[in-house]
Amino acid sequence: MEKLIIKSLIAEKQKEIIGIELVERPLELETAANYIFVGLRRAGKSYLMYQHIQGLIKSGQASIEDILYINFEDERISSIKAEELHLFPECFNEMFDKKPFIFLDEIQNIIGWEKFARRLADSKYRVFITGSNAKMLSKEMHTTLGGRFIAKEVFPFSFKEYLSFFQVTLNRNWEYDDTRIQVVKLFEDYFYYGGFAESFPLKDKRSWLNALYQKVLLGDIISRNGIRNENAIKVIAKKLAESVMQPSSLARIKNIVDSTGTTVARNTLVDYLQLLNDAYLVFGISNFSDKLSDKETYKKRYFYDNGLLNNFLFEPETKLLENIVAIYLKQKYGDDLYFYKKNIEVDFFIPNDHRAIQASFRIADDTTRQREVKALLRLSEIHDLTTLEIVTWDEETTIQEYGTTIQVLPVWKWLLKL
């Protein structure tokens, strides 16, 4: 690798970062810690690094000449090997003769990057890393990095951040003035097309989202992992989208895939599902009432963004509603999120927060209302619950039954209160 190319990249990125206009996202970092940002491609990991760099400069902790930023998806360094990574701090030192803040973007493309990152941390550099693969959060990775990095999962823009992007400010009484109209109007696009900031100004959001999905599936999953049976994993992703809301066992997913004429072995299916999870395309939640051995094989699976899920669906509203609730709960509660299915079925159950939630597009129909309410009341008899909610499209009320309160909220309002 020629040093001239590396030096050009360093100078280029410094000039670029200083000129980027940002809508600030919530970001709290320890002053002396190193970080790994992981999440779905285009969710905003690089954006958060740019934000942190600009913050360092504004606060006087650094100048732009203290910043070493490398994007490992740049084709000019696509052939670089792990043993050449030392060239980056070397080149920086030759240019500026100082110790930089180091930002390594999408470094998972380099096999063996972990030892380099650990060596930088041991040498007392401040290091920030991004990656689009959940393996960067694995126990094996933490062992290699030796506890020297704090991991942060990055999700696409929340609805509150989406409103900030469009310069909508929520004052104390926003629900009672014209701001409410703006919020409801903006929510519709967010609901159908998700939280990828790059897509917000576009008229043809669907084409952009489809291109992103193809990049994740073909590049991050199929090509990177050398998958030969491309059709099988494509069918699995499609069927998972169509089955959102429905708990599925591995056997059921296998039968659905096999019925399309694409056969897949059970072990291969397990591997493919893990790859879809690792790429932050889908995530699963387990049935709280299942025994431990079933929790890994019987799950409800959701997509990390409504826009990607909507690519697959016809008349998608009911599934998109439950999916967006799942995304927010996953971001807030992580692995403490379950569904509950044993004689009754509750969409979301967070035992440590004593909270249960039903996602129902409408409950105006008495049968639907009674089904959702009955399940929540029954679960509250089994477990000590303090918060019971039904998230709908546009209904809002309070239900009082048997001394228990159930709050019914429209989804756009629920997202802003969470």
Question: Dihedral of the CA atoms 167, 171, 173, 176 (nearest 10)?
Answer: -10
pTM over 0.75: yes
Kindly give, in sequence order, each residue whose CB lies less than 8 Å from that of residue 48, ignoring residues fewer than 6 positions away: 25, 27, 37, 154
Quote the CA–CA distance of 216 and 245 in Å, as a whole number: 23
Residue with structure tokens 């069918």? 235
388 vs 179, 241, 349, 398, CA distance in Å?
Answer: 27, 27, 10, 10
Q: Which two tokens stand for residue 279?
A: 């790429």
Q: What is the pLDDT of residue 140?
A: 57
Query: Which has the closest alpha carbon to 285: 226, 320, 328?
Result: 328
> Strands 248-249, 298-303: parallel, antiparallel or unpaired by DSSP?
antiparallel
Q: What is the pLDDT of residue 133?
A: 84
- Residues counted in the chain: 418
Contact 13, 69 (CB under 8 A): yes
DSSP assignment of 52-67 equals: HHHHHHHTTS--GGGE
Q: What is the pLDDT of residue 172?
A: 87
Q: What is the pLDDT of residue 23?
A: 87
Tell me which H or E stretch contains 370: helix 366-382
E strand map for 76-235: 101-105, 126-131, 149-154
Q: What is the pLDDT of residue 253?
A: 92
Give the bridge partners for 285, in sequence order: 300
Quote the CA–CA distance of 40 and 180 in Å, as a whole number: 31
Query: Which has the closest alpha carbon to 93: 68, 73, 119, 71?
Result: 68
Q: What is the number of other CB atoms lying within 10 angstroms of the CB of residue 367?
A: 8
10-residue mean pLDDT profile of the chain (418 residues): values are 92 94 91 92 94 96 97 93 96 96 92 92 95 73 78 94 95 90 96 97 96 94 90 93 93 90 91 94 95 90 97 94 98 96 96 97 95 97 96 97 95 92
Q: What residue spans of 224-365 are helical by DSSP H?
A: 230-242, 250-259, 266-278, 292-295, 306-310, 317-333
Q: What is the pLDDT of residue 154?
A: 95
Q: What is the pLDDT of residue 381?
A: 95
